Structure 1
Amino acid sequence: MVRVALQGVRFFAFHGFYPEERVLGNHFIVDVDVEFLQQHHFTNDEIAHTVNYEQLYIIVAKHMKQPRKLLETVVQAIIDELKTTYPFVETIRVGLKKLSPPLPGIVEHSFIEITYHKPDDV
């Protein structure tokens, strides 16, 4: 298995259930990793034989720019686009942290993570 990941990717975005969250915005951190079976030897030095982490960043950034009420919706949209872009990927894991969520106490971050496993019959 090959694993390609980006961790600790920071964004300022406008996700949140409450209207004021979608106006004021907040800081977020995204972790994304994908796993796939190696189909080619990497001695040929071709990016087409792997997952381009620059493309991972572009996909994540695109969805972080689209305000959503639920963090789960953001994460699912990222996963869905990664599945389409890289159909050979076996596992996709995306975690999204909202720093200092608007709660009555001191909370470092809230966290949502979704893991996708490609079905065996695909």
Structure 2
Amino acid sequence: MIVSLHGAAFFAYHGFYAEEQKIGNHFLVDIDVEFTPAADTMEDNLDNTVNYEWLYDMVCEEMKINRKLIETVAQAVINQIVQQYPFAISVRVVLKKLNPLLGAKVGHSAVTLSYQKG
């Protein structure tokens, strides 16, 4: 089973350059968490799955911590997910920085980090 949260939008101050850390930027986050349910999903119990509301709230908190690299942010998100959901088989996080400061028109830059259990 995979629980996903895609297109979560944030404004944050991540960036290598001082200007990025001062003016901030818009970011989009996509998360996919694959797992085997510990119980029958027909039990209709939130404890038997990955809570995408928790995913959003956790990413909200991680985005508030200013970092130079979006790779670092994405890894922190994975670390939090694996800690909260030890039954996760794999986690994929895509973090997009919209309109990065490159001196050219670019839709976004992005990093994709993955975790695979075992």
| 1:72-93 superposed Cα distances (whole Å, 9 cap, x missing partner) | 0000000001110000000000
Letter in 1 for 2:86: P
Sequence identity of aligned pairs in percent?
49
Alignment of 1:1-122 (within 5 A): 2-119=1-118
- Unmatched 5+ residue regions in structure 1? none
How many residue pairs were aligned? 118
Counterpart CA distance in 2 for 1:42 and 1:118 is: 22
Question: What displacement does 1:105 show?
Answer: 1.2
RMSD value, Cα: 0.6
- Unmatched 5+ residue regions in structure 2? none
Counterpart CA distance in 2 for 1:110 and 1:27 is: 11
Q: Compute the TM-score of the two structures, normalised by the length of structure 2.
A: 0.98
Question: What displacement does 1:39 show?
Answer: 2.1
Counterpart CA distance in 2 for 1:53 and 1:104 is: 36
Letter in 2 for 1:98: K
| 1:91-113 superposed Cα distances (whole Å, 9 cap, x missing partner) | 00000000000002111100101
Q: Compute the TM-score of the two structures, normalised by the length of structure 1.
A: 0.94
Tell me the secondary structure at the aligned position of residue 10 of structure 1.
strand
